[in-house]
């Protein structure tokens, strides 16, 4: 199955970002991609954290979700819709949510980010819990390729990648990691963490990132990549808009899991 991590440099303009995402998804489809992954907050990197509250949507309704469904349906591919803010219905915070759409444009899975990023060093400071409510449940969803093979798709978001127990909570063939890593943490840990999650789980990892200087002055690390189950980076783009495409080889993955049956040797389980 051919996949793509789509890298963006999203702005504070939702309409502009949605148009850019649609163009990049079309480019991916033209390359024969069957599974495309957008980055975290593909729809908005606002000037302040609370901007995401202004564009929140109720689950199943809203222009951003309609646009994602149309991207999947119009291009006949599976789409992991990066993330968007979904209403909690109980307070003034939102969920940072990943939605999966099938080639008919139907939403088949939802995952709410479970681990909320906090970092402070000098003038650089982040605390997602100020505007986000964390999710409660891991999600692994089935994705069917054009040959009829069913792949188990594990959903995670950005800071989640630092928590290996999430990736061991349910066995998946592919893990997606839509992200907006900072330059500070990305330069130090991004590739290391992604490769570790791939090796530990003998799984493919598709990491779609924000990558560049944004209109709000923030710079994100980029380096969207696809990592194979042996930890090799098979496709990567450092910065700027890109469709980072790669073939996922199910036979190679099965062979590696047979040669090194580490997943069957686990002693501690959730």
CATH assignment of 2-261, among 3.40.1260.10, 3.30.70.1450, 3.60.110.10, 3.40.50.10800: 3.60.110.10
Identify whether the C-beta of residue 179 lies closer than 8 Å to the C-beta of residue 225.
no
- Helix (H, G, I), strand (E, B), or coil: what is residue 203? coil
The pLDDT confidence band at residue 90, using thresholds 50, 70 and 90, is: confident
106 with 142: CB under 8 angstroms?
no
Round to whole Å and give the CA distance between 114 and 92.
18
Task: Name the active-site residue from 34, 43, 57, 158.
Answer: 158
Per DSSP, the residues of 125-181 read EEEGGGTB-------EEEEE-TTS-EEEEEE--GGGGG-HHHHTSS--SEEE--B--
3-class DSSP assignment, residue 80? strand
Give the CA distances from residue 254 to residues 111, 152, 238, 249, in Å, rounded to whole numbers and listed in that order: 26, 13, 30, 9
Cα angle vertex 163, ends 207, 91, to 5°? 90
pLDDT interval class at 98 (50, 70, 90): very high
Catalytic position from the list 34, 40, 128, 236: 40
Concerning whether 158 is annotated as a catalytic residue, the answer is: yes
Quote the pLDDT of residue 91: 81
Told to judge if 40 belongs to the known catalytic residues of this protein, a careful annotator would answer: yes
What proportion of the chain, given as a percentage, has pLDDT over 70?
100
pLDDT in the model for residue 125:
84
Looking at residue 206, what is its pLDDT?
Answer: 99
Residue 227 clears pLDDT 80, i.e. is over it = yes
What tokens were used for 243?
């469709």
Distance from C-alpha of 218 to C-alpha of 213, rounded to nearest angstrom: 6
Q: How confident is the model at residue 241 (pLDDT cuts 50, 70, 90)?
A: very high
Distance CA 52, CA 32 (A): 33
CA distance 52 to 55: 5
Q: Give the active site residue among 52, 113, 128, 236.
A: 113
Q: Is the distance from CB of 166 to CB of 174 less than 8 angstroms?
A: no
CB burial of residue 129 (10 Å; 0-12, 13-18, 19+): exposed
Phi/psi of residue 111, each to 5°? -130, 130
Q: Is position 57 annotated as part of the catalytic site?
A: no
Provide the pLDDT confidence category of residue 242 given band limits of 50, 70 and 90: very high
Burial 23-35 (b: 16+ CB within 10 A, else e): ebbebbbeeebbb
- Whether the pTM exceeds 0.85: the reply is yes
Which tokens hold the place of 10?
């999203």
- Domain borders along the chain are 2-261
């Amino acid at each position: 199955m051919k996949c793509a991590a789509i890298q963006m440099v999203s702005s504070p303009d939702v309409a502009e970002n949605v148009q850019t995402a649609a163009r990049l998804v079309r480019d991916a489809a033209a390359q024969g991609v069957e599974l495309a992954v957008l980055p975290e907050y593909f729809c908005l990197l606002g000037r302040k954290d609370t901007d995401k509250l202004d564009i929140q949507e109720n689950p199943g309704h809203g222009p951003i979700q309609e646009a994602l469904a149309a991207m999947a349906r119009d291009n006949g591919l599976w789409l992991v819709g990066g993330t968007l803010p979904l209403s909690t219905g109980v307070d003034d915070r939102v969920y940072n949510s990943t939605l999966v759409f099938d080639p008919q444009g139907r939403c088949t899975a939802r995952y709410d980010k479970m681990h909320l990023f906090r970092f402070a060093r000098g003038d650089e400071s982040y605390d997602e819990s100020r505007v986000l409510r964390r999710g409660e449940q891991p999600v692994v969803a089935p994705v069917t390729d054009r040959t009829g093979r069913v792949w188990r798709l594990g959903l995670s978001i950005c800071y989640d990648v630092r928590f290996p127990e999430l990736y061991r909570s349910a066995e998946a063939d592919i893990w997606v990691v839509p992200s907006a890593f900072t330059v500070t943490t990305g330069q130090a840990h991004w590739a290391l963490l992604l490769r570790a999650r791939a090796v530990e789980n003998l799984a493919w990892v598709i990491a779609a990132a924000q990558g560049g200087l944004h209109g709000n002055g923030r710079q994100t690390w980029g380096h969207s990549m696809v990592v194979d189950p042996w930890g090799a980076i098979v496709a990567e783009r450092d910065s700027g808009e890109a469709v980072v495409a790669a073939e996922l080889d199910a036979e190679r993955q099965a062979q590696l899991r047979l040669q090194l049956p580490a997943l069957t040797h686990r002693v501690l389980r959730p």
